[in-house]
Chain A
């Protein structure tokens, strides 16, 4: 956020530590992270998925990345000389690995399962990496591996700029290829060549080790060449370059065509969340209204379409989706206005709580027996017709994806125009300082209400598409988590930034769907991402232009 009004001159002093102490601390933190990773059950679950075929599982990769990061951070410490930094990193890695060894020994020696369900013999076996469970070899190899990983991190950190960038991009490419094997393999499958190179590059779960090596050097070399070709004075924190933008949008449009149905379905979900994200972006990103009851308007849209388009017993009409869509949008906007009127005098954190309360009231009402004769209660409404276009039923994930994408395009256009109109500037002014904005003649209630109503209308559109996509609506789909998801998308992408919504939706909705092993832990990841984002890059992955200017000027 950009409104950094200083509310107190009181500031916390940061303690200074020596490079060695810092390294010990980093090692301890990495060790704690590794132990936590194992104990929440993520290690055992992710161990089933190979990233590099037959060599490296997802959980091993995650563990290695943790010590690698610890080593990298230690290696970057400019106060120590090269040799000292490497030694420090070695130490940090040893400590991190030792923490994990201790855990293995504990699991083998004491039965922890009554308290910690993940501390199972299976975990001990997985962590022993093929050696006899909790044997001396198993216990000693972990610190050594940790030290090796951290040393590698420190070495990379100590490389000169170009080489370091090359090594990191090579690594990133291999990890990405291994993780998103499904996307890339299905793309290769769709290539015209019938024999297909796919079988050689990808195994059943991950990338093949030979292909991984080739890919690493290929990308590293490309990065080197790119570094040599142009050495621009890079503006710090400048969002994304133009080619990257073109690539991203091309990917968004073409993706479902070149991959399989599963990927198309994920893309559809991303588009849906983009639609909601743009709605909340108007409320939160532009007008600064923290709305945690956003899902209520999504529900209004979805239930409207369900009631109007269903062939089930609860339907009140059986009209086409194209008639129901505007009705849903209008009703959601009306609901937004109805809620917004009283609530919008409340500010800041209080508004978050008030809207959360409203959202929950709606969910509890929809779920209750009282309204069940009309809304179906927990049974929901089923048998919603798919939309038809020129006599063609939009049923396949790809066609529905394009429907959601087209709506997103419309909404993005409207958002863009609003943002740069007078009302958009009024919203921004109000977000920065409501009292000053009011003094300048902006009617805070009217402009807030407009933001809230438009945001609700967009959410209603998303809900309408959602009902058509899924073919049924249940109260279960309208939990607080949806609101939080959308909030997280905005924060990760950058508050007030339209492309940020796309980036946020891809990162938070698309990636976890594609990494199915991730499923259980996705909200944990959300939490970590929110906290980390606020600490490291509060303006988001793709900051809004005015935020970017402010950050660059500072």
Chain B
């Protein structure tokens, strides 16, 4: 998108990024009142976190085993965030747009997995051979996610491909509502419970720490899927085409890449990842509802931004960091302020991180060159 002018990144005009002597006075001369306020906010947030952290550690409410299980939980939910984040990142890499309905794709995948699991449970396969059944359930989730994602591309993005406007964003918000409320009509509002996956229901004790098996399975499965996706993007012909389209859509079309097909494939792969996330989420939490997708989608988006949008490795890293921060944050930081029921405020940490990254480091942890242009 070379025709989009680069914006000035707030991070670049802060004292930390300047190297030569007299940088502080130079910054003071060039900065505006907005920069000063932003700096004050930075310092304030950092102080809040540090004081909370010190207080939380001093309070000592939780044992080391507690923190280990928090961390494991954080890694599990983080790997699910990472899977969702991949869809955002891939679509953003190619279209420079956020697929607002992506969270609901995950919900649809989760429901498809539920029905597949129900069918397998009737044949008895699910309880007897969960390692064979889980890939089948995942496949159902992936197929449904990919299909819905393709439909979203078709309805909300393709018609507006050649103009820059709010239309895709608004269409995608509309699609998100259509998916949520159509699913509500089709499947009902009550929580649906996944059937049990045989031996995957238990917990193992390892080196004195007890871990629920579903969390371990979900974490490992997520890592495997992520590795597979990376291989596709880095090694396959399709992956090469995707990277080319993401660099320059017109040039890619000139050298004979079917841009439309690549975009569809990107949406399909992103949707499939969301489907996997939906099934793994259900594996860990057992209960799914039709409204769970939207806010998990926001978290996935936060993970994508955190890692550096447009960057696949970044999405994984962002997901894991966000998951762990959400799992440990309430115990470590909020506890330090003596806030009652700190886990109610878990989402404040997640959303707060989202807002802070968008404001202060829109290029994310791993910083993608492309991300700077639109942010």
Give the interface of A toward B (CB within 8 A). 1, 3-12, 36, 39-42, 114-118, 288, 290, 341-343, 345-350, 352-354, 356-358, 360-361, 364-365, 367-370, 435, 445, 480, 484, 487, 491, 495, 520-521, 523-524, 526-531, 534-535, 538
- CB-defined contacts of A4 to chain B, threshold 8 Å: 163-165
Which of A353, A364, A528 is within 8 Å of B298, CB to CB? A353
Give the segment of B53-61, B70-78, B177-185 that binds chain A: B177-185
B170 touches A491 (CB 8 A): yes
A10 touches B354 (CB 8 A): no
A-B complex: 6 closest residue pairs judged by Cβ atoms: A40-B185, A527-B177, A530-B174, A527-B178, A524-B181, A357-B351
Shortest Cβ gap from B249 to chain A (Å): 5
- CB-defined contacts of B182 to chain A, threshold 8 Å: 36, 40, 524
Any chain A CB within 8 A of the CB of B7?
A: yes
Which residue on A lies nearest to B96, using beta carbons? A7
Any chain A CB within 8 A of the CB of B253?
A: yes
Tell whether A358 pairs with B355 under 8 Å between CB atoms, given A12-B260, A524-B178, A527-B177: yes
Prevailing SS type, chain A contact patch = helix
B253 touches A357 (CB 8 A): no
Task: Report 19 cross-chain contacts, Cβ distance below 8 Å, ordered by A residue.
Answer: A5-B164, A7-B1, A10-B259, A12-B158, A40-B182, A342-B38, A348-B374, A350-B98, A354-B355, A361-B352, A364-B348, A368-B341, A369-B341, A484-B173, A491-B170, A495-B166, A524-B177, A530-B177, A531-B156
A345 touches B186 (CB 8 A): no
Tell whether A9 pairs with B250 under 8 Å between CB atoms, given A350-B358, A364-B347: yes
Among A290, A356, A365, A534, chain B packs the most CB atoms within 10 A around the CB of A534
A115 touches B97 (CB 8 A): no
- CB-defined contacts of A6 to chain B, threshold 8 Å: 162-164
In the complex, A258→B82 CA distance in Å?
57
A341 touches B169 (CB 8 A): no
Contact with A along B149-181 (1 / 0, CB 8 A): 000000110111111111101110111111111
A521 touches B355 (CB 8 A): no
B174 touches A42 (CB 8 A): no
Which of A345, A348, A369 is within 8 Å of B10, CB to CB? A345
Which of A36, A41, A346, A357 is within 8 Å of B375, CB to CB? A346
Shortest Cβ gap from B240 to chain A (Å): 19
Among B115, B177, B259, chain A packs the most CB atoms within 10 A around the CB of B177
B177 touches A354 (CB 8 A): no
Which residue on B lies nearest to A449, using beta carbons? B34
B347 touches A3 (CB 8 A): no
- CB-defined contacts of B160 to chain A, threshold 8 Å: 534
- CB-defined contacts of B302 to chain A, threshold 8 Å: 353, 357
B341 touches A370 (CB 8 A): yes
Shortest Cβ gap from B229 to chain A (Å): 23
- CB-defined contacts of A9 to chain B, threshold 8 Å: 162, 250
> How many inter-chain residue pairs (CB < 8 Å) link A and B?
204
B355 touches A7 (CB 8 A): no
Contact with A along B240-253 (1 / 0, CB 8 A): 00000000011001
B358 touches A353 (CB 8 A): yes
Any chain A CB within 8 A of the CB of B345?
A: yes
Which residue on B lies nearest to A446, using beta carbons? B34
- CB-defined contacts of B193 to chain A, threshold 8 Å: none
Shortest Cβ gap from B97 to chain A (Å): 6
Shortest Cβ gap from A345 to chain B (Å): 6
Which of B98, B165, B166, B260 is within 8 Å of A353, CB to CB? B98
In the complex, A480→B180 CA distance in Å?
14
Which residue on A lies nearest to B178, using beta carbons? A527
In the complex, A365→B344 CA distance in Å?
9
A39 touches B185 (CB 8 A): yes
A354 touches B359 (CB 8 A): yes
In the complex, A518→B345 CA distance in Å?
35
In the complex, A118→B185 CA distance in Å?
7
Shortest Cβ gap from B296 to chain A (Å): 13
In the complex, A528→B115 CA distance in Å?
26
Any chain A CB within 8 A of the CB of B41?
A: yes
- CB-defined contacts of B253 to chain A, threshold 8 Å: 10
Which residue on A lies nearest to B187, using beta carbons? A117
Contact with A along B14-55 (1 / 0, CB 8 A): 000000000000000000101001100100000000000000
Contact with A along B338-367 (1 / 0, CB 8 A): 011100110110011011001100100000
